[in-house]
A = this chain, B = another copy of it.
Amino acid sequence: MDEIVKGKQSLIFPHAPRIISASSVAGSKEAEGPLKKLFDKTGKDDLFGAQTWEEAESSMQKEACMTVLHKAGIDAEEIRYLFGGDLLRQGIATSMGVEDFQIPMFGLYGACSTSGEALALAAMSASAGYGRYMMAVTSSHFGSAEKEFRFPLGYASQRPLSAQWTVTGSGAFVVAGAEAFPDADDASSPENGKTGDSGEKTVRFSHVRISGITVGKIVDYGLKDSQNMGACMAPAAMDTISRNLSDMGRTAAYYDRIITGDLGYIGSAILADLLKGQGHDIRGRHLDCGMMIFDRETQDTHAGGSGCGCAAVTLAAYVLPMIERGEWERVLFVPTGALMSTVSFNEGASVPGIAHGIVLEHF
């Protein structure tokens, strides 16, 4: 099994599963940001037809799942297993968001690293031949996350400059096995562009694969400031990136881009320093979804974007199309999470981080 198992924490898939479609649903502030033209769907009032922020987040997840199925040109019942999660207590946005699809499901929690966790497990399952198609979905919502972790929006609390702005958005992905079900990857088939019953067009990726993963450990530098999550998560990103490089015998230069999930401006600066200390130079090839999704000058999101939805919608709307077109050949995608709850930080516990690495390649 040396063919698959690499180093301490990584896997390389000999027959890499493919990401055949991705969808992004985003909120109104995100729709005013730099990626505005790239999202599949955007909301106007961030309620998405619901009465509460929590229901709104579930509506977004449902919409993201429906959209990704339409884009892939497949039905929900063709998805073997679903891997999903969010930031809310007991992952309630996912439970309520995906229940209508009746897909056998695994609920996940990895804070804002959940999109990486979901894609890793979907790729592991697809590569092992456990089914033809797997789905990964995650979401976050500014309104529900502020209520969950800080204060309800109605309180109009002031936020420190180190705070990040939780992205309102949901991203979903269909992962197809390559070896066990070679016909699952008929991406370049004439199906592409077909208009389905819903009036939505099939838009499959033909050239994106997940060639490997690096599963993250919990990394705790003892930081306790829940309003500076970038700093709490940067050590975990460093750990996963340097482990990916050593497990796979690579240097940072192997990747066209190393893209972290939501370190924001503060965390990204810390990451560069920490990696330099490890002998890795990521200058010129590092991007962070939390820095890309909002405009720093005009949108006033302090240290940048964050949340389960941040990395997911940026991956779906911007990163994967770049790989599909071959503008980037190899990307290390590293969603980062801050492992805390309101109870843990009120009880004085530290905020450890976790990050999972997904190796995405053009083929």
Which residues of A from 340 to 358 have beta carbons under 8 Å from B? 340-344, 347, 349, 352, 354
A218: which of B5, B95, B217 is its contact (CB, 8 Å)?
Answer: B95
Q: Which residues of B contact A117 (CB under 8 A)?
A: 106-107
Looking at the assembled complex, report how far the CB atom of A144 sits from the nearest CB atom of chain B, in whole angstroms: 8
Q: Tell me whether B89 and A131 are in contact (CB under 8 A).
A: no
**A89-117 CB contacts (< 8 Å) to partner B:** 89-92, 95-96, 98-99, 102-111, 117
Shortest Cβ distance from residue A114 to the other chain B in the assembled complex, whole angstroms:
8
Q: Is the CB of B54 within 8 A of A89?
A: no
- Beta-carbon contact of A339 and B104 below 8 Å: no
Contact B95–A352 (Cβ < 8 Å): yes
| A77: min CB distance to chain B, Å | 8
**B92 close to A90 (CB less than 8 A):** no
Interface size class of A (residues with CB under 8 A): 35 or more
Which B residues are CB-close (under 8 A) to A147? Answer: 343
Taken together as a complex, chains A and B put the C-alpha atoms of A217 and B95 apart, in Å, by 10
Which stretch (A122-130, A192-200, A279-287) binds chain B? Answer: A122-130
By a CB distance below 8 angstroms, the chain B residues around A342 are 89
Name the segment of A80-88, A161-169, A267-275 touching the other chain. Answer: A80-88
A344-B217 contact given A11-B130, A117-B106, CB 8 Å threshold: no
| Cα A102 to Cα B341 with chains together (Å) | 20
A residues with CB within 8 A of B: 1, 4-5, 8-9, 11, 52, 54-55, 80-81, 85, 87-92, 95-96, 98-99, 102-111, 117, 120-121, 124-125, 127-131, 147-148, 180-181, 215-218, 220, 339-344, 347, 349, 352, 354
